[in-house]
Amino acid sequence: MPRNCFLILLMSLCHSAWPNTSVAWQAADAPIAVEAGAIATVQPLATEAGLGAYQRGGNAIDAAVAAALTLGVVDGHNSGIGGGCFILIHRADGTAFAIDGRETAPAAAHENMFLRDGKPQAGLSETGPLATGVPGAIAAYYRALRRHGNLSFAELLEPAAQIAENGFPLDSVSARRLASTADKLMQFSASKAIYFKPNGHPYGEGELLKQPDLAQTYRGIARQGPDYFYRGPVAQAVSEWMSKNGGMITANDFGNYEAKTRDAIVTNYRGYDVIGFPPPSSGGVHVAEMLNILEPFDLRAMHQRDPVQLLHVIAEAMKLAFADRAYWLGDADFADVPRGLIDKEYGRLLSQRINVDRATPVPEHGEPPQWKSDLFERHTTHVAAADKLGNWVAITATVNTSFGSKVVVPGTGVVLNNQMDDFSVFPGVPNFFGLVGAINNAVAPGKRPLSSMSPTIVLKDGRPVLTVGAAGGPKIITQVLLAIVRTIDLQMPLDEAIAQPRIHHQWSPDKLMVEHSMDATIIQRLKQFGHVIDVLPLHSAGVTQAIGWKSNGQLWPVHDPRIPGQASVYVP
């Protein structure tokens, strides 16, 4: 997958009642599930950490954070405490919380910081000191645990610290990512010291990777709490390194960081409530917008009549939404992001622009209603878990591309993100993922860059039936869309919906990306609809994880078959 962030998704159902739903993964009047918890991640050690939290009396929030912290050790090319996260929580009492742990631009940041001689230099926002935003993951995890968890931060940090200290064998995915970024990691001494053997070669599959400095950092946070990270040795070490290497982040930037609580986005699709994350996530807005565009179509009948035409219509909805993303989306604390993007009538009007028989050019963004006045308030792994109390938690966390900025600050073991690349470096200039943006996503001090992370929870009659999220940069948004459409509209079993070949359209470039496993006859038909096709190479279609329900009433954690992972049910 091209985007290296990780998504932790936790989901659970209150066992006192059964949701009334016709979704394929649950039968009506099914028996009550008896499991205490379920969890699925892209790394067995992270799954075991979540199960361990359950065993010690933890709930879904505890299991999610335990898995997240462990992924920061064993899946560090995707995520870690040097990055950020979004946490979406739906409690058994029906309340929903969105905790924003997105990275922020340092106080010295400015919109021309990646220009040299008036020209944008993309490499500056991808690798090295200027690429890094102030990390937010630790602050967000701590806030979620303190308000909603049963266990202490120290209890969840220590098992991950032990893995970092004693080492773990690299899996094939981690070894491949390490090899592909070796030349950039070699540029930084502390990164080289961790990921390369004495002979200068990167560690390979099956070889033991130890991270003693990271273990020390984890234990420091366990002893002193987030202050160790934001106002203590880690903040000081990062500040000193940045000062010596041309970076902008200071100890004051760390000390001023704050995780924010925001109102979740709640929309309706065919009688289901869809809960998503608000800006600076673009995922919550545009999953909702695409569902609104698709709702006027009878997608199930279309699928039965012509499955390729269905793919075409979904692709056209993706294109329309991503055109809006490029213009309207940004950090709502800094930019005017119209709530009209998720308006049902606006979605219906956009749907009328879709020709079901032919691809239609989208020259520019649309204009949502009341766009001046009705505004939002000022490379991924996915974990899914559920507890017996009915807490649902979705956490998406990231360091952005593989190993983030490639910088490990000496003495900390912490891989720093390269999230500054998610800003619009310059209007119309694409970032690493080919996304373009406008002034709403321009760099500014303290601003949070736009994100594609899309933690999502689906309810029926107020009860949870699906939680889903993904990895893959902008493909996160379209993967979540496809999972919802394939389960609700097409009534596919959850594992089949996740395994099906995927499509992705992000407006710019004007190409329909299709997974390499897509049947050649389907690709040819899509070309006949007028789409310019870009066949994605192996390992680049993204990764989805989810939890639903089996027909016998049991929780059904599903991990994406495209990469190794583990889905487990905890029984006390």
Tokens of 56: 């010690």
| Residue 413 forms part of a structural domain | yes
Residue 109 belongs to some domain of the structure: yes
Q: How far is CA 323 from CA 352, 370, 468, in A?
A: 16, 18, 24
290 and 247 housed in the same domain: no
pLDDT of residue 470: 87
Band of pLDDT at residue 92, cut at 50, 70 and 90:
confident
Mode of pairing for the β-strands spanning 543-549 and 463-471: antiparallel
- Distance from C-alpha of 542 to C-alpha of 226, rounded to nearest angstrom: 32
388: CB partners within 8 A, 6+ apart: 12, 15, 35, 36, 37
Residue 390 main-chain phi, psi, to 5 deg: 100, 15
- CA-closest candidate to residue 54, choices 39, 44, 73: 39
11 and 123 housed in the same domain: yes
Name the pLDDT band for 13 (thresholds 50, 70, 90).
very low
Residue that finishes a domain, picked among 397, 418, 441: 441
Structure confidence at residue 423 (pLDDT): 85
Tokens of 249: 């982040």
The model's pLDDT over 262-321, given as tens digits with 9 standing for 90+, comes to 999 999 999 999 999 988 888 889 999 999 999 999 999 999 999 999 999 999 999 999
Q: Are residues 419 and 286 in the same domain?
A: no
Report yes or no on 98 lying in a domain.
yes
- Residues 390 and 364 placed together within one structural domain of the fold: no
> Which residue segment(s) compose the domain that 499 sits in?
264-378+454-542
Q: Is residue 552 assigned to a domain?
A: no
What pLDDT was estimated at residue 121?
A: 81
Q: Does any domain span residue 330? A: yes
Give the residue from 441, 472, 487 where a domain finishes.
441
* 567 burial via Cβ count (<10 Å: 0-12, 13-18, 19+): buried
- Statement to judge: residues 37 and 111 lie in one domain: yes
**31 lies in some domain:** yes
29 and 88 both lie in a single domain: yes
**pLDDT at res. 336:** 77
Could you report the per-residue pLDDT of 429-450, keeping only the tens digit for each? Answer: 655 445 555 577 788 999 998 8
Catalytic residue, from 380, 381, 398, 478: name it: 380
pLDDT at 236 over 70: yes
Q: Measuring CA to CA, which residue among 508, 344, 342 is closest to residue 427?
A: 508
Q: What is the CA radius of gyration of the chain?
A: 22
**For residue range 335-366, what is the model confidence (pLDDT) as tens digits?**
777 888 989 999 999 999 999 999 988 867 66
For residue 305, how many C-alpha atoms fall within 13 Å in the half-sphere facing its CB? 8
Same domain, 465 and 420: no
Q: pTM to 2 decimals?
A: 0.87
Closest of 42, 61, 41, 62 to residue 52, by C-alpha: 62
Q: Which of 40-54, 62-76, 382-396 has the lowest mean pLDDT?
A: 382-396
The residue with greater pLDDT, 440 or 213, is 213
Biggest CA–CA distance in the chain, Å, is: 67
Asked, for residue 448, whether it belongs to a domain, the answer is: no
Q: Over range 177-187, report the average pLDDT.
A: 95
Residue 34: pLDDT above 80?
A: no
380 is catalytic: yes
- Same structural domain for residues 393 and 500? no
Are both 107 and 16 inside the same structural domain? yes
In the prediction, which pLDDT does 538 show?
Answer: 81
Is 80 exceeded by the pLDDT of residue 138? yes
Counting runs of H as helices and runs of E as strands, what totals does the chain give?
19, 21
What's the confidence (pLDDT) of residue 430?
57
Question: 220 and 362: one domain?
Answer: no
385 with 332, same domain: the answer is no
